[in-house]
Amino acid sequence: MSKSLPLARLGVVGGGQLARMLAPACNAHYVQMTVLDPMHHSPAGQVAYGQIQGELHDPAALKTLCEQSDIVTFDLENVGADILMTLAHQGVQMVPAPATIRLIQNKFEQKHHYQASGIPTAEFIDIGDDPDFAVVEAFGLPCVQKAHTGGYDGRGVHVIRSADDWKKRLKTTSFLEKFVSGGIELAVMVACRASGEMVAYDPVEMVVDPTLNLLDYLVAPARVSDALRLRAQELAKQTVKSFGTHGLFGVELFVTDDGDLLVNEVAPRAHNSGHHTIEACVTSQFENQLRACLDLPLGATALRGVALTANLVGEPGFVGSPVIEGLDELSQIPDAHVHLYGKDECRPGRKMGHLTLIGENHDELIQRLESVRKSLVIRGDTPQ
């Protein structure tokens, strides 16, 4: 079938690192990507076909993006979903549907959706704005407090093991979730297109930084049995099907002590747990995100080898313009791939890039990461 070029005008709500990493796939397919972001010269705006500067909840800015796009997708879910739903009803094509974005924006509504859809998830209760600690004790310790809305990159999550932890609780509308022991967290990237075709990547094992509450590093494939990997892929597909829309989704899963799988959360977009796919898989998550948007046949998801991806976050004690140390040493390591996100301000704990290592086995990659971290540092140029 012949197609006119450019293949499409793709609008992306949000101009962060995820949209930045989508740009190469767009360029390869001659897709003109325009991003909407409030920041001048945003990470994606630096490499996109164009950028509209505006707030992600601004009706006029969102309307302008839609008018300049054939298809609209998302870099993040903290956007004006109600406005986008109105625009979708007027005929604007969006992937995924903004109704799914609105559902996923509220983690408490997410949990109810899984419960209603027969998808296994950890037990939870709503606690509103300012509950008594007796409610928490009755629910059971340890547990996890989660904000209904606004949580991302470790924000909006607080583990409660004692009354002292409760004193440091989130002061916002929230719910409690049972703490899942077992220590293994998995994630599965799933892409699906309007025709119904669906692919799932190999599950990855996520190691979370306990201080920052965000991904420290992942290994792919996850260090679990083949049977558990298949079950994780099937549960991830079932979860994505429950939303009734197409696109790319990151499905986070817990493995219990008994070997059961529970859905934690879903991201309706590219996800940190899929960054390794750029170098480690036949088709990257970003390529398949674009294919899902354009309703093109999805690419193969097979791993080329064992992979490890680590977040590069701002060092404590520094702020300001980003400075990187150790890049010369890293450049001499075979199959080491660094991605810097183009953010103009570095703060402690802020994601500034990621590093992917490809090798033969998990232990060797973890040792290589420990060695790399002795020299590779990203920090601000000003001591705090």
Instruction: Give the model confidence (pLDDT) of 231-261 as tens digits.
Output: 999 999 999 999 999 999 999 999 999 999 9
- With a pLDDT cut of 90, the percent of the chain lying above it is 91
pLDDT of residue 283: 98
Q: Report the length, in residues, of the chain.
A: 384
Residue 227 structure tokens:
């049977």
Matching residue, tokens 């916002």: 172
Q: How does 363-374 read in b/e, with b if 16+ C-beta sit within 10 Å? A: eebbebbeebee
Q: Are 146 and 107 in contact (CB under 8 A)?
A: yes
Per-residue pLDDT at 156: 87
CA angle 298, 119, 96 (to 5 degrees): 40
Three-state DSSP state, 68:
coil
Query: Which has the closest alpha carbon to 337: 362, 356, 312?
Result: 356
Cβ-Cβ contacts under 8 Å for 25 (sequence gap 6 or more): 31, 284, 286, 287, 289, 290
pLDDT tens-place string over residues 314-341: 999 999 999 999 999 999 999 999 999 9
**325 within 8 A of 340, measured Cβ to Cβ:** no
Closest residue by Cα to residue 364 from 311, 287, 308: 308
How large is the average pLDDT for residues 220-230? Answer: 97
CA-based torsion, 209, 210, 211, 212: positive or negative: positive
Mean pLDDT of the chain: 95
> How confident is the model over 136-188, as pLDDT tens digits?
999 999 999 999 998 776 678 999 999 999 998 998 999 999 999 877 999 99
Cβ pair 280, 286 in contact under 8 A:
no
pLDDT tens-digit series, residues 341-373: 999 999 999 999 999 999 999 999 999 999 999
What percent of the chain stands above pLDDT 70? Answer: 99
CA angle 105, 259, 311 (to 5 degrees): 50
For residue 337, the model assigns a pLDDT of: 97
Give the pair of three-digit tokens for residue 105.
Answer: 């924006």
pLDDT in tens, 116-134: 999 999 999 999 887 889 9
Least confident of 27-36, 103-112, 204-213, 218-227: 204-213
Mean pLDDT over 287-304 rounds to 98
pLDDT in tens, 147-158: 999 877 667 899
Give the count of beta carbons closer than 10 Å to the beta carbon of residue 2: 3
Which candidate, 358, 331, 344, 371, places its Cα nearest to that of 275?
A: 358
Quickly tell me which residue has 């994505």 as its tokens: 240
Both tokens of 30, joined, read: 């001659």
Q: What are phi and psi for residue 150, nearest 5 degrees?
A: 85, -5
User: Nearest-CA neighbor of 244 among 92, 84, 79, 103?
Assistant: 103
Across 68-72, average pLDDT:
97
Query: For position 153, what pLDDT does the model report?
Result: 65
